[in-house]
Amino acid sequence: MSNNEEVAPLDFIRQIVANDVSEGKHQGRVVTRFPPEPNGFLHIGHAKSICLNFGVASEYPGGQCNLRFDDTNPLKEEDLYIQSIRTDVKWLGFDWQEHMYYASDYFEPLYKFAERLIEDGHAFVCELNVEQMREYRGTLTEAGKESPWRNRPMAESLDLLRRMRAGEFPEGRYTLRAKIDMASPNINMRDPVIYRILHAHHHQTAGQWCIYPTYDYAHCISDALEGITHSLCTLEFEDHRPLYDWILDRLSGVLSCHPQQIEFSRLVLEYTVVSKRKLNALVRSGAVDGWDDPRMPTISGLRRRGYTPSAIREFCRRIGISKTPNNVELSLLESCIRDDLEQHAPRAMAVLNPLKVVITTVAEEHCAELSAANHPQNPALGSRKLYWMREIIIEREDFAENPPKQFKRLVPGGEVRLRHAYVIRCDEVIKDPASGEVVELRCSHDPATLHANPSDRKVKGVIHWLPLARSCPAEIRSYETLFNTANPDEEWQGDDFTRLLNPNSLQILSASRIEEGLQNLPPGTIYQFERQGYFCVDSKYSSPGKPVFNRTVGLRDSWGKQQNKES
């Protein structure tokens, strides 16, 4: 180990954990949990939490991270989401081993503890309805009023709770509330509801229960029952920590563990929304093609787009963990996937928008094999054959009759190199007489330039190409951001988000052509199409012989940037 190796600084949570371990707190154990509610698909914000929780646990011998479904609201949850969450966490590269749990696993002990809270005078059954409870709660600046049921005899509350469980009452008739302080400046402490009646089928417990614990009540106890040492959550739960601690303190006689809740700031990514409600609205409205639409910031969307687990993990590492607002630019995410794919993606050529070129110096039936390396820096990725023929295609935008300054591609009378092949000169431009559109180029090639540069002149540009007869059609889907504003979350009002949508977020190029060897690739296969970007075989629309590629991300484009600046 070299002594000049930089040691990455620990974030504030890892500092706390390291400190606790060195002090022997929790017998030196580190147990965390990732606790999603199964009411939607996981997104990039969850990835941050997953990387933190599983990451911290993995950094200690015997460290453990549980996957726990926080399933206390049967109205919003579905088994479908449980499956997708498991898939996504695994795909990201994390392993909960045998530690997969449900908050609903604890419904029985949770209920027992509730009876105990009543017995100890810490909870009561309330008859206020929703509107009344809101009135009694007070406001941010005024204290609340105590419920008239607050001091009902303990035996009566106990009886009522048992009958609530037995299903004797309709929804909303009664609630169980913690007896804390209606004058607390922290609204969460104003006698919060901890059980409500819900005559609903639960995806795990079916019809077993008709009363369900609330998040605040269930979460802390679930943590304690699992022996969690550090309960990591986002900043909006900071105000709930006093309640978390209050409940565990009342139950300290029966619970031997009191986890420490620590909050960090949630991720906000430019040009996206990261709220299940809003993602759901996008899906329902048909603005996107499902939760896994490649424009979605969901894990499944990123996967379909071509993002790799390691790129997402690297992104989470780079954004860090802190309590300051984590407003991250898209360029950071893009740089993570480029860094990964630059090393690992084999190269190939694709012509997105073809322009026919006839090489007049090549005979009609001529077909010569050329060899092209699959990666310029990594010979281990091997090489493939290319075919040199009379009729080829190039990218339309690689030819210009009236080139802008600094244009290094093909111009009338000018030369350019064809990648992995020869230098060609444009001798003639053929246009459609009616429209004036360039329909074909006639070029001659210099046979001395296959693996050598001409000694008498300098050829600056290199463009990609394909032999027309030995290329295949492909559909290429190119994406821009889903929203036309960097802060769609802020500008999102009510349910009208359509004005925020970028009309160009999906462009389908159906006249594109690819190397013939790319015709039958399995879904998810990633290539770099040289000079263009990284592309991935779509898992939904691609079929053998009819490939569909998603553009994961473009290559850095200093030329395009320069053009934009000048226009």
Binding mask 499-538 for RNA (x = CB under 7 A): -----------------------------x-xx-------
275: which DSSP letter? -
Whole-number Å distance between alpha carbons of 89 and 78: 17
Structure tokens at 477: 């889907």
* 491 binds RNA, rule: CB under 7 A: no
What does residue 381 show for φ and ψ, rounded to 5 degrees? -80, 0
Binder to RNA among 11, 181, 480, 516 (CB under 7 A)?
11
Cβ atoms of residues 469 and 286 within 8 Å = no
* Phi, psi angle pair for 51, to nearest 5°: -65, -35
From the list 24-32, 42-50, 300-308, 552-560, the region that binds RNA by CB under 7 A is 552-560
Q: How far apart are CA 210 and CA 199, in angstroms?
A: 5
**C-alpha dihedral (244, 245, 251, 254), degrees to nearest 10:** 100
From 222, 192, 224, 197, select the one nearest 209 (Cα to Cα). 197
Which stretch, 3-11, 46-54, 247-255, 474-482, contacts RNA (CB under 7 A)? 3-11
Q: Is 428 helix (H, G, I), strand (E, B) or coil?
A: strand
Q: Which of 14, 116, 150, 266 is catalytic?
A: 266
Q: Find the shortest distance in angstroms from Cβ 94 to RNA.
A: 19
Residue type, 499: R
313 CB neighbour count, 10 Å cutoff: 20
Q: Does 34 bind RNA (CB under 7 A)?
A: no
Binding segment for RNA among 40-48, 124-132, 295-303, 467-475 (CB under 7 A)? 124-132
Residue among 300 and 532 whose Cβ is closer to RNA:
532
Phi, psi (rounded to 5 degrees) for 236: -65, -10
- 281 binds RNA, rule: CB under 7 A: no
- Asked about 266 being catalytic, the answer comes back as yes
Q: Give the bridge partners for 326, in sequence order.
A: 267
Q: Enumerate residues 308-337 that contact RNA by CB under 7 A.
A: 318-329, 331-332, 334-335
Query: Nearest distance from residue 149's CB to RNA, in Å?
Result: 11
E strand spans, 40-192 = 64-69, 100-102, 123-126, 175-178
Residue 371 engages RNA in binding (rule: CB under 7 A):
no
Q: How many residues bind RNA (CB under 7 A)?
A: 92
Cβ-Cβ contacts under 8 Å for 85 (sequence gap 6 or more): 36, 38, 41, 42, 67, 69
Nearer Cβ to RNA, position 30 or 336?
A: 336
Among 89, 133, 357, 553, binds RNA (CB under 7 A): 133
Smallest separation (angstroms) from RNA to the CB of 414: 11
DSSP state of 353: S
Task: Tell me if 494 contacts RNA by CB under 7 A.
Answer: no
Residue of the chain from 18, 100, 158, 193 that contacts RNA (CB under 7 A): 193
The reply on whether position 175 binds RNA by CB under 7 A is: yes
Output 189 or 293, the one with its CB closest to RNA. Answer: 189
- Kindly state whether residue 10 participates in binding RNA, applying the rule CB under 7 A: yes
Q: Could you count the other beta carbons within 10 Å of the beta carbon of residue 223?
A: 28
376 binds RNA (CB under 7 A): yes
**Cα–Cα distance measured from residue 216 to residue 189, given in angstroms and rounded to the nearest whole number:** 11
Question: Buried b vs exposed e over 105-118: b needs ≥16 C-beta within 10 Å?
Answer: bbbeebbebbbebb
Query: Which of 14, 25, 29, 37 is an active site residue?
Result: 37
Whether 98 is catalytic is no
- CA end-to-end span of the chain, whole Å? 52
Nearer to RNA, 140 or 206 (CB): 140
C-beta of 532 vs 550, nearer to RNA = 532
Compute the distance between CA of residue 182 and CA of residue 189 in angstroms, rounded to an integer: 7
Taking CB under 7 A as the rule, does residue 192 contact RNA? yes
Residues from 384 through 443 that contact RNA (CB under 7 A):
406-409, 417, 419-421
User: Does 262 sit near RNA (CB under 7 A)?
Assistant: no
**For residue 454, what are its two tokens?**
């001409």
In the complex, the smallest distance separating the C-beta of residue 517 from RNA, rounded to whole angstroms, is 17
Among residues 145, 152, 356, 375, the one that binds RNA under rule CB under 7 A: 375
The nearest distance, CB 81 to RNA, in angstroms, is: 12
Which residues fall within 8 angstroms of residue 141, CB to CB, at 6 or more apart? none
Within 10 angstroms of residue 518's Cβ, the number of other Cβ atoms is: 22
The stretches of 199-263 forming alpha helices (DSSP H) are: 215-225, 241-250
Query: Given phi > 0 = left and psi -120 to 50 = alpha, else beta, which region is 135?
Result: alpha
179, 276, 338, 417: the catalytic one is 276
Binding mask 70-99 for RNA (x = CB under 7 A): x-xx--x-----------------------
Separation between Cα atoms, residue 450 and residue 430, nearest integer Å: 26
Specify whether 530 is catalytic.
no
Considering only residues 137, 203, 230, 551, which one is a binding residue for RNA as defined by CB under 7 A?
A: 137
Binding residues for RNA restricted to 222-261, rule: CB under 7 A: 235-240
Binding mask 440-469 toward RNA (x if CB under 7 A, else -) reads ---------xxxxx-------xx-------
Q: Which residues are catalytic?
A: 37, 266, 276
